Amino acid sequence: MGKRIYYLDNLRTCLVFAGICFAALGNFRPFPLLHPYVPASINSLEGVAVDFLYNLAIVFIMPALFFISAYFGASSLRIHMILPYFKSKWTRLGWPWLIGTVLLAPELLYLASRSCGSHGDGPAFSLIHPPFWSAYFQSPFFFIGLLLLFHLALMGAKKWRRSLFQRAAAAPPSAGILAGFYALQLVVAAAFFGLLLTAHRAPDFWLPLYVLYLAATCGLYFCFGVYAFRHRWFTAGGYVPSAVHIVGAALLLGVVVASSYIAAGISVFISGTLFPLLLFFSILQLPLLLALLAAFAKWGDKETNKTKLAAGLAYPLYVVSDTLIQNTAYFLQPLSLGAPLKCILTLALSFLYGYMLCKYALRHLPCFKTR
């Protein structure tokens, strides 16, 4: 497969750990879905900022991870037969998804029932209750299953037309290609933005629409990752985003944040959440991805013992992160501490437990072993 691209590995590791941190932050949002451990005031500016950061991170991190996974997956599938590739992906993704869904996700549903029961709006503890099969209770297993599904589609593409995996000459993407993908991404976001506005009187549709938007965006970036592989991005002589993207993304981030605060009041009034700000978040997805690729290519293209350890811990920790975070936050609920302190304590304890569990147990399982 050629020389290992260390900065892609390091970027993927950082994104996973960032996703875990923002998942913990989700318990302390002003608009919790089913785990209101520390409900904040709806008029709190800090609470709105937390909700904004949480949704921005979720909307950006998962598509970026799907992009990197598609790049490496297509590179591996090019030189492997379909059956060995399927076995490796089932071991890596299928077993964690199946076991996590069967053994870990039901406990999250029970915990939500306990934590929400006193408010009268908690779901009944039943494995056949609809929320259990939603992405909320499947997370992080929902994204693992979705990624497995996309890799199965990739295998189907190779079965259908092997020429799709023939690599073109190394060349930077044209402005038309980047603009076209950016426009397609914005069209998808605008479509879901419109659906969310239409469904603002039917709250039961907000979360399914949000999940469909995330799945659609992850699919777009998965295809974009395959495109990057075919055109030899990140290889010797291939395209690597320049530092200009870092400056551009920083300026755009400032504009989007300022604009989003203006729209936040309208958004909260419509749905009680910041979900309708998807259109603002989507503006940042591609520029942020290119900026992070440029930054890691410039400053993070090396492998050390620490980066190897972090890379080895990232995936197993992600699989058990929701269970660790939700249980820790639930049992810290009686403590009379402020939300920031509880969030920090939840993360610290979750990472401590997770480190011990992953280092001495999970990393020895075939699905979590790394080279």
Q: Do 51 and 30 touch, CB atoms closer than 8 A?
A: yes
Q: How far apart are CA 272 and CA 264, in angstroms?
A: 10
Mean pLDDT of 186-192: 87
Hey, what amino acid is at 10? N
Would you state the pLDDT for residue 35?
Answer: 58
Q: How many domains does the chain have?
A: 1
Q: What is the pLDDT of residues 204-249, one digit of tens each?
A: 666 677 778 889 999 999 999 999 999 999 988 889 999 999 999 9
pLDDT above 90 coverage of the chain, percent? 43
Calpha distance 195→87 (Å, rounded): 39
Residue 127's pLDDT is 45
Tell me whether residue 196 is in a domain: yes
Using the 8-state DSSP alphabet, how is residue 102 labeled? I
| Over residues 180-191, mean pLDDT | 90
1 is a domain residue: no
Q: Is residue 303 part of a domain?
A: yes
Res. 126 pLDDT band, cuts 50 70 90: very low
Q: What is the pLDDT of residues 157-184, one digit of tens each?
A: 999 888 888 888 888 888 899 999 999 9
Question: With 60 as the cut, is the pLDDT of residue 338 above it?
Answer: yes
Q: What is the mean pLDDT of residues 273-278?
A: 55
Place of tokens 């609809």: 130
Q: Where are the alpha helices (DSSP H) in the chain?
A: 6-25, 45-79, 82-89, 95-99, 105-117, 135-138, 141-160, 175-198, 206-230, 244-271, 278-299, 305-331, 339-360
Tokens of 94: 């299928």
Q: Which of 21, 102, 9 is nearest to 354 (CA)?
A: 21
pLDDT per position as a tens digit, 197-210: 776 666 566 667 77
Q: What is the torsional sign of CA 270, 273, 278, 279?
A: positive
Could you tell me if residue 201 is inside a domain?
yes
How much is the mean pLDDT over the chain? 81
Who has greater pLDDT, 317 or 175?
317
User: Does the residue 14 lie in any domain?
Assistant: yes
| Residue 254: inside a domain | yes
pTM of the model: 0.89
* Size (the chain), residues: 371
Whole-number Å distance between alpha carbons of 153 and 122:
37
Does residue 176 sit within a domain?
yes
Structural domain boundaries enclosing 312: 6-368
Alpha carbon distance 199, 357 (integer Å): 42
> By the 8 A CB rule, do 222 and 70 touch?
yes
Query: Number of C-alpha atoms within 13 angstroms, CB side, residue 287?
Result: 20
CA angle, 64 then 67 then 73, to 5°: 140
